[in-house]
Chain A
Amino acid sequence: MTRSTRIFMSCIYWAFVLYVFVPLILMVLMGFKDSKFIGFPITSWTLDWYVGVFEDAEILSTFGYSVAIAVLSTAISVVVGTWIAVVLEGRKFWGRAAMFGMTILPALVPGIISAIAFRIYARALGIEPGMGAIVWAHAVHNVPFVVLVVMARLSTLPKSQIEAARDLGADPFVAFLRITVPYLVPAIIGASIFCLLLSFDDFVRSFFLGGYEPTLPVLIFAKLRSGMSPEINAIATVALVLTAVVGVWAERFTRRTNKEA
């Protein structure tokens, strides 16, 4: 490869970096603009929008609502997903491929269709739109990601580990709790954080299954439809910082545990 192509390729990379970062940076900057109107150039700066966000009880409660939904749905996804992964990775059985296909189905259904299907099913189950419905939809939607991550980790657990535990007097259940679960911890933590972010960021399911109270993305969407304002930038920036910090920390965590393993 010649020198000039190398330089050209690296230019493409950095252009792409600009493409993915610049919009977010601009959005963050706009939250500090001392004017009601969104637009460049920014001539004077202020923190008022942030002060406003942290003084607005409704916005703060929306943050809490979104976090609560994320935590609850993640708890369900992790338990169910791990359980399914243990079954799928456990042994060969009739219909295993079909079960795997059904397991990852919710991750493959396009967003709007998934939201509609959940909406109809929630009514069939008698779940009223609101927190319960959103938690349920997020939980189901995120299970496939947990299954994939946990299965990948589980497949690297040497069979002899479980056999050794059984040999030393542990029944299958105790062997699972004392050997398998500790081994899965890094995968479970990684999957949990992924689920938390998926749930926290999700718009379409929250939108169609929500009741009166909006989640954070739904709130931003609603505010955007009635016009742009630096207040939205401030809200979005707080959400962005929250997710990016958690995401980066998770990435570092998984990398560290992978190195140790």
Chain B
Amino acid sequence: MSQDVAAAGRRRDAVSGSDGSPVFWGRLIASAPYRALMALIGTSPTRQFVLLAALPVLWVLTQHLGPMLQMLRVSFTDAYPVAVGAEQNFTFDNYLRFFGDSIFWMPFFRTLTFAAVFTFCTLIITYPVAYFLARHVSPKNRMLMLLLLLIPFWVGEIVRTYAIMILLGNTGAVNLALRTLGLIDRPIPFMYTSFSMGAGIVYLTALYMLLPLYSALEKLPKSLNEAAADLGAGAWTRFRRVTLPMTLEGISSGCTLVFLISTGFYATPVLLGGPSTTVFAETIAGFFHVAGDEWPTGAAFATIMFFAALVITFAFQRVMKALRKGDS
């Protein structure tokens, strides 16, 4: 029977398709248009890969890099979009304008300071939570308790900002609670201050800090802490000398992410902040609400913001790397 098997296969080769036409895939690869396409693509793996990579490379260059480069280019021009008949000239004025007026650079430094402070607050708030989840909860409950925290983060930026407004308003939940407890007579004006803004931004970014911290802490072997305890290290020393240095990488990536995101918020500062907390995003946005000839200045300011954020995160990562090396 076995030789029949071999022979049958061979026989069928000769009369391929004797029983019905080929099924979908067989028909596809035998079809003339498909063969023409394949002939075009060729059989050389290198040629195939170049053809495969062409469109993605083009997309990444034009759609990912393109907007940033165009913004950079516009920031050096005196008019954009160019009016009919007018000429577009190269200029540094847009950048010089930034340094000329405190109404511009004040929000800039405020934004960076706020972002740094809020990032630090987020770290302080989420570290114990991540630590608790990764080290104190059984693996079975861990995912569940983490998922519980993820749910609010599926909700959008605006909705969550609004939720904070309701929480902190003069007739908000916090003031009501404090008044009921008899701690205050008149509502505390939380809203439109840097506090309300901070509460909102920390609320929005906490997840981006929590997840890197959690994965860093989860990877940390328990035995390390036990070994340190065995050597007589107290709880604080153990944390400072073992846990903290080992999670620097998670801290570093969490802080980078949160810092970058914090500098980019626009709606949250508008809704939660006040006149004394104007951030650079609002300054930049201002150039795009009015006449078009302000666009180059807006582009220049956005470029300044972007490079400042890049330089700061880059410097921060270098410092963290040095710290990590110094400890190991």
Contact = CB atoms under 8 A, between A and B. Distances in A.
Chains A and B bind each other: yes
Interface of A: 1, 5-6, 9-10, 12-13, 16-17, 19-24, 26-27, 30, 37-41, 80, 83-84, 86-87, 90-91, 93, 99, 102-103, 105-106, 108-121, 123-124, 140, 143, 170-174, 178, 197, 200-204, 207-208, 217, 220-221, 224-225, 228, 232-233, 236, 239-240, 243-244, 246-248, 251, 255
B132 interface: yes
A204 B269 CA distance: 12
A110 B166 contact: no
Given A22-B173, A178-B25, A201-B157, A120 B64 contact: no
B67 A120 contact: yes
A132 B285 CA distance: 21
A236 B129 CA distance: 28
A40 B176 contact: yes
Contacts of B136: 1, 6, 9-10
Nearest to A80: B59
Given A90-B52, A246-B154, A220 B266 contact: no
A245 to B, nearest CB: 9
B282 to A, nearest CB: 9
A91 B206 CA distance: 36
Nearest to A119: B288
B152 A21 contact: yes
Contacts of A251: 147, 150
Given A26-B173, A37-B171, 10 more contacts: A40-B175, A90-B52, A110-B260, A111-B281, A116-B298, A119-B288, A140-B67, A200-B156, A225-B270, A228-B166
A87 B80 CA distance: 36
Contacts of B306: 109-110, 113
A244 B151 contact: yes
B264 A41 contact: no
B108 to A, nearest CB: 12
A224 B57 contact: no
Contacts of B159: 24, 27, 201, 217, 220, 236, 239-240
Given A9-B136, A201-B155, A246-B154, A117 B71 contact: yes
Interface string B152-171: 11111111101111110111
Interface hub of B52, B63, B65, B153 (most chain A Cβ within 10 A):
B63
Q: Which 4 A-B pairs have the closest CB atoms?
A: A110-B264, A39-B171, A247-B154, A201-B156
B271 A105 contact: no
A112 B302 contact: yes
Given A102-B61, A105-B64, A217-B158, A17 B267 contact: no
B263 A110 contact: yes
B189 interface: no
B162 A110 contact: no
Given A9-B132, A102-B65, A117 B302 contact: yes
Contacts of B163: 23-24, 26-27, 236
Q: Chain B: interface secondary structure? A: helix
A5 B160 CA distance: 32
A13 B133 contact: yes
Q: How large is the interface on B (under 10, 10 to 19, 20 to 34, 35 or more residues)?
A: 35 or more
Contacts of A102: 60-61, 64-65
A172 B267 contact: no
Nearest to B150: A251
A1 B128 CA distance: 14
Contacts of B166: 23, 26-27, 30, 38, 228, 233
Interface hub of B48, B80, B264 (most chain A Cβ within 10 A):
B264
Contact of A39 (B68, B131, B169): B169
A113 B203 contact: no
B295 interface: yes
Contact of A111 (B64, B162, B235, B261): B261
A201 B143 CA distance: 25
Nearest to A83: B56
Contacts of A117: 67-68, 70-71, 302
Interface hub of B71, B149, B299 (most chain A Cβ within 10 A):
B71
Contacts of A119: 288
Contacts of B49: 87, 90-91, 93
A22 B284 contact: no
A160 to B, nearest CB: 17
A109 B257 CA distance: 10
A243 to B, nearest CB: 5
B123 to A, nearest CB: 13
A55 to B, nearest CB: 21
Given A90-B52, A110-B309, A244 B155 contact: yes
B66 interface: yes
A116 B173 contact: no
A74 to B, nearest CB: 15
B74 interface: yes
A244 B48 CA distance: 43
Interface in B168-201: 169-173, 175-176
